[in-house]
Amino acid sequence: MEPMVEIKALSAHAGAAVTLQGWLYGKRSGGKVAFLLVRDGTGLCQCVVEAEAADAFARANELAQESSLQVTGTVRKDERAPGGYELLVTAVRPIQIAKDYPITRKAHGVDFLMNHRHLWFRTPRQTAILRVRHRLIRSMRAFFDDRGFTLVDTPILSPGAAEGAGTLFPVDFFDEQVYLAQTGQLYLEAAAMALGKVYCFGPTFRAEKSKTRRHLAEFWMIEPEIAFAELPDLAELAEAFITHLVGDILTHCRAELETLERDMAPLERIAPPFPRLTYSEAVDLLHSGEVHERLLSELERDRACLKQWQADLGRAEEERAAAKKGWRQDKLDRQILELRENIRELDVDLRNRPGHIENARHFAWGNDLGGDEETILSRHFDKPVIITEYPKDVKAFYMKPKPDDPRVVLNLDVIAPEGYGEIIGGSQREDDFDALIARMEQEQMDRAPYEWYLDLRRYGSVPHGGFGLGVERTVAWICGLRHIRETIPFPRMMGRMTP
């Protein structure tokens, strides 16, 4: 038999007879010629079956969308073929004939697609996202591996613990109530005292009842932890880390980003130094006339934009009504759907916006920065923003207060550009035994389960810290996705457990 070839390698076999195996992505057929669009996970290839190849032609006509098959033929360069190469078919071998494949090559709604997630990710857009995710994870691990970090796996089952117990998933562990981990951090601190620089990478679980485009109940997080590191070291590491990730995706996943129609210009700008401001400076910025003016002018601009879109929609609908059947109508349908969705979204946004602007202007020092504030701050810059030194009261017990201003802690958040929200959260940890237990008492925490953790402060405590980066939010940002649910093969979120 002819050599089995992957579609991505077709160009190296021009003129040769080869066999492809894969699935039928689409088909156009007629009396004298059939075009099979075959995908194999590495690419798409148009396979031309002419009626003279009678057996192949007959079999080609039996195939429906997503049937599995092998096709043999001669590779040839052709301008008209997507990808530039096509296969002139001599034999078609169906493996299994699919019937009534539910996802057609037309528009579908989110709920329908989510219910068919197991099939949905066969489409070019979804496979592009999954490839970016893969490359991103590989880049993340390479970044730490190349800098002398050791991967340490932390447990997924963890004893209750006090911190935000309300947001954990309870699990029955031999009649004992334990929880799914929401971070590996405490264990990682122990590992850092053994190995110096460590990281963990794994799933993490949050039972927050959040149904937004930024939330998953189960997501993946990579967390470095470093002995002898202070807040500025962490900020520098986070900056280098993100720069590395974006650069790596831009070099290795251009085709995928093009498939996703991601505007790459904002990504090309990602380079050190990132803007850094303290929480207090961020609050001042929110209060500033400069920001207020900008928000108001953006509001005006977006209102004009809404009107423009509504006009576009009206025009498209008129044109749709007048259009003849066929691809022209099809294209208009797509435009209309997209416009409607954008309009609905912007309309809601515009109605909420004046309130947000007022909230920002009167934001009180001491509150945690919410999604709106983050968005406002991130829109003020065109790179990720590092915000440090939040009020102690809104942060976790293990964060080290700033020596000369104990109202705040030595923490950092990194806010992604373009409104994608917080992608990194971390801190320098409290390394002093007495200060740590004082804080735990303040929070009325039960000390017993933490004795092992306190040992780290008893035996050779050193300044240290780390952060966690959310994989899915980072994928969503880099790919420019509207929703985080597309960034993970099988999303787990409130109200969604299948498939």
Site for RNA in 383-402 (CB under 7 A): 394
* 136 to 268, 346, 430, 441, 479: CA distances (angstroms): 16, 31, 31, 41, 11
Identify the residue among 12, 14, 28, 232 touching RNA (CB under 7 A).
28
Decide if 213 contacts 461 (C-beta within 8 A): no
- The partner residues of 69 in beta bridges, in order of sequence, read 22, 94
Identify the residue among 284, 333, 418, 432 touching RNA (CB under 7 A).
333
Identify the residue among 15, 148, 403, 495 touching RNA (CB under 7 A).
495
Identify the residue among 15, 52, 54, 106 touching RNA (CB under 7 A).
106
Q: Considering the complex, what minimum distance in angstroms separates the CB of residue 174 from RNA?
A: 28
Neighbours of 56 (CB within 10 A): 23
Q: Considering the complex, what minimum distance in angstroms separates the CB of residue 373 from RNA?
A: 8
Q: Considering the complex, what minimum distance in angstroms separates the CB of residue 455 from RNA?
A: 24
Binding to RNA (CB under 7 A) within 186-245 occurs at 206, 208-217, 219, 221
Identify the residue among 389, 422, 430, 431 touching RNA (CB under 7 A).
422
Decide if 299 contacts 318 (C-beta within 8 A): no
Identify the residue among 229, 399, 424, 481 touching RNA (CB under 7 A).
424
Is 58 a binding residue for RNA by CB under 7 A? The answer is: no
CA separation for the pair 252, 250 (Å, rounded) = 6
Q: Name residues whose C-beta falls within 8 Å of residue 112's C-beta, 6 or more positions apart in sequence.
A: none
CB closer to RNA out of 183 and 461: 183
Binding to RNA (CB under 7 A) within 340-359 occurs at 340, 344, 348, 352
Q: Name residues whose C-beta falls within 8 Å of residue 318's C-beta, 6 or more positions apart in sequence.
A: none
* 387 to 27, 273, 427: CA distances (angstroms): 52, 13, 11
Is 35 a binding residue for RNA by CB under 7 A? The answer is: yes
Is 329 a binding residue for RNA by CB under 7 A? The answer is: yes
Identify the residue among 384, 425, 463, 465 touching RNA (CB under 7 A).
425
Q: Which stretch binds RNA (CB under 7 A): 142-150, 168-176, 276-284, 321-329?
A: 321-329
Is 104 a binding residue for RNA by CB under 7 A? The answer is: yes
Maximal CA-CA distance, the chain:
86
Q: Name residues whose C-beta falls within 8 Å of residue 215's C-beta, 6 or more positions apart in sequence.
A: 206, 208, 484, 493, 494
Binding to RNA (CB under 7 A) within 78-97 occurs at 78, 80-82, 86, 88
Is 374 a binding residue for RNA by CB under 7 A? The answer is: yes
- The partner residues of 405 in beta bridges, in order of sequence, read 402
Neighbours of 496 (CB within 10 A): 17
Q: Considering the complex, what minimum distance in angstroms separates the CB of residue 429 from RNA?
A: 14
CB closer to RNA out of 35 and 149: 35
Decide if 15 contacts 22 (C-beta within 8 A): no
